[in-house]
Amino acid sequence: MEEYWEPHPKQQEALKRREFEILYGGARGGGKTDAGIVWLTYDISHPRFRALVIRRNADDLSDWIDRARRMYSRFGADFAYRPTEIKFPSGAIIKTGHLKDDNAYGKYQGHEYHRMVIEELNQIPQEKRYLQLISSCRSTIPELSPQIFATTNPGGAGHGWVKKRFVDVAPPNTSFTDPKNGLTRIYIPATVDDNPTLKNNDPNYIKVLDSLKETDEELWKAWRLGSWDTFAGQFFREFRRDLHTCKSFMPLSNIPKYGGVDWGRIAPFVFLAGAFDVVKLDDGRVFHRVWIYKEIDGTEKNPKEWADEIKHRVGIREFIKIMADPSMFTLGNDTSISIADQFKKEGVIMKRASNDRIGGWSVVHDWLSIAPDGLPYLIITEECNDLIVTLPQLVHDEKKVEDVDSDGPDHWGDALRYMLKHVKWIDASSGGVHQKEAPKVREPMITKIDFDAFGRIKRRKRTIRPV
């Protein structure tokens, strides 16, 4: 039994906030769980108080319940199981659940919870799932104000939307009012330095975190400092916006072009266009570079509408191949025409792409690597904003670490791997192709691009002229 608990200053700051949504945490060891357990006790004297605690899985929930039992025993709490409910003498009730339940996000609709704790918020893959969950945080009792207390570390399938919703909208510790609905939210960062209890009782914990700096500096930044720019589990850690992107341009019509398509009607539909350049080095080696220069994406359009948009926005006859999601070639249950054939009727001819996910992602890693001229083999124009945003958000699948977690925003990545899996990548760093005769190499597109688009990249002896 814990006789007394006193919050540390950063925990106290989080506990006193009145915003509708509070995100607390960032780095490891910041005292997030204890703060959430105490935060739930503020209204347990009210007989109609109802709260909900959500954790990632049953094991994590069991750990939370063990810690809550020690803290709530002083209030005379009674614990019932399957699923666990915590009842207080006043009649107040705290219910628990985890995200591995079937229909986890919809099972609480219609309920009324005045306080809601969501641990490991980053494990919720999509913002719409989170909004579906918190729709039950409401109150018909004037003296009980609805509020959400979420905790997280950088990473996980939901890293991107959590960062965008809480971290990017306002400086840390600053309240933000959503102009769409007038509701408020705040992000309060915390590190192990804000948890003196852990530092004093387990000084080796900080040593373990700091030891990561020598072996994995990016992971150290995430776990020790709470950096949101990189995180554990990130699939394409080599991707850098300042290196892999450039200003938008339209390649010449005689440049070879490939397309990649991932089908979706409710889930996003994605079409990516790539122009394949040829670069010749001074020593005679030649390699390819791909410029992803156009994306067309969205939801709730039929094949004819997407075909019309593709034809309107790109020169469809310039494409050597458009490699598409294999599911598009499947006949309907009634043997009706496939999605791919519906596109074909509209003049957009696609070929079935390889669905080798592991091999496809490996190819994307290759293209993201750095060529001998100091630039990546793959460069994305700023017009392809959704690809630029979602590619660094993809995370490893926990059960198959060489694959991407499909719960994340993988539609743009899928379209990219469908395309790149069917074109040749040459590792020019380890030999490349040596031409025995005078090579028929076009002037590379790099000479036609505004090089200011590449931010901090420095180049010498390069004549740049605008397109």
pLDDT tens, per residue, the chain with 467 residues:
345 678 888 899 999 999 999 999 888 888 899 999 999 999 999 999 999 999 888 778 888 999 999 999 999 999 998 789 999 999 999 999 988 765 777 888 889 999 999 999 988 888 988 999 999 999 999 999 999 999 998 887 788 889 999 999 999 999 999 999 999 999 999 988 888 888 888 888 888 888 988 887 777 888 888 888 777 778 998 999 889 999 999 998 888 999 999 998 888 999 999 999 888 888 888 888 999 999 999 999 999 999 999 999 998 999 999 999 999 999 876 668 999 999 999 999 999 999 999 999 999 999 999 998 889 999 999 999 999 999 988 988 878 889 998 888 899 999 999 999 998 887 776 554 444 443 444 555 555 454 444 443 433 333 322 22
User: pLDDT by residue (tens digit) across 110-143?
Assistant: 899 999 999 999 888 889 889 999 999 999 999 9
CATH 3.30.420.280 assigned to domain 241-454? The reply is: yes
Sheet containing 21-26, strands listed edge to edge, beginning at the edge strand earlier in sequence: 78-80, 85-87, 93-98, 50-55, 115-118, 147-152, 21-26, 184-190, 176-177
Q: What is the pLDDT of residue 337?
A: 92
HSE-up (13 A, CA, CB side) for residue 231:
26
Q: What is the pLDDT of residue 436?
A: 43
Q: What is the pLDDT of residue 334?
A: 66
User: pLDDT by residue (tens digit) across 349-407?
Assistant: 999 999 999 999 999 999 999 998 889 999 999 999 999 999 988 988 878 889 998 88
Distances (CA, A) of 414 to 45, 110, 369: 52, 36, 18
Whole-number Å distance between alpha carbons of 285 and 432: 6
Which residues lie closer than 8 Å to 266 by C-beta, 6 or more apart? 299, 300
Contact 327, 299 (CB under 8 A): no
Contact 467, 249 (CB under 8 A): yes
Closest CA to 383 of 255, 464, 274: 274
Question: Following CA atoms 56, 59, 60, 64 in sequence, which dihedral angle do they give, to the nearest 10 degrees?
Answer: 130
Same CATH topology for 9-215+221-225 and 241-454: the answer is no
Q: What is the pLDDT of residue 217?
A: 79
For 120: left if phi > 0, alpha if psi spans -120 to 50, otherwise beta; the answer is: left
DSSP string covering 3-47:
------HHHHHHHT---SEEEEEESTTS-HHHHHHHHGGGGTTST
- 319: enclosing H helix or E strand: strand 319-324
- 324: enclosing H helix or E strand: strand 319-324
Q: What one-character DSSP code corresponds to residue 153?
A: -
Strands of 193-298, DSSP E: 245-246, 257-262, 269-280, 285-298
Phi, psi of 23 (to 5 degrees): -110, 120
Sequence length of the chain is: 467
Domain boundaries, the chain: 9-215+221-225, 241-454
Question: Following CA atoms 216, 218, 221, 223 in sequence, which dihedral angle do they give, to the nearest 10 degrees?
Answer: -70
- 115: enclosing H helix or E strand: strand 115-118
Q: Provide the terminal-to-terminal Cα distance of the chain, rounded to the nearest Å.
A: 72
Q: Which CATH superfamily is domain 9-215+221-225 in?
A: P-loop containing nucleotide triphosphate hydrolases (3.40.50.300)
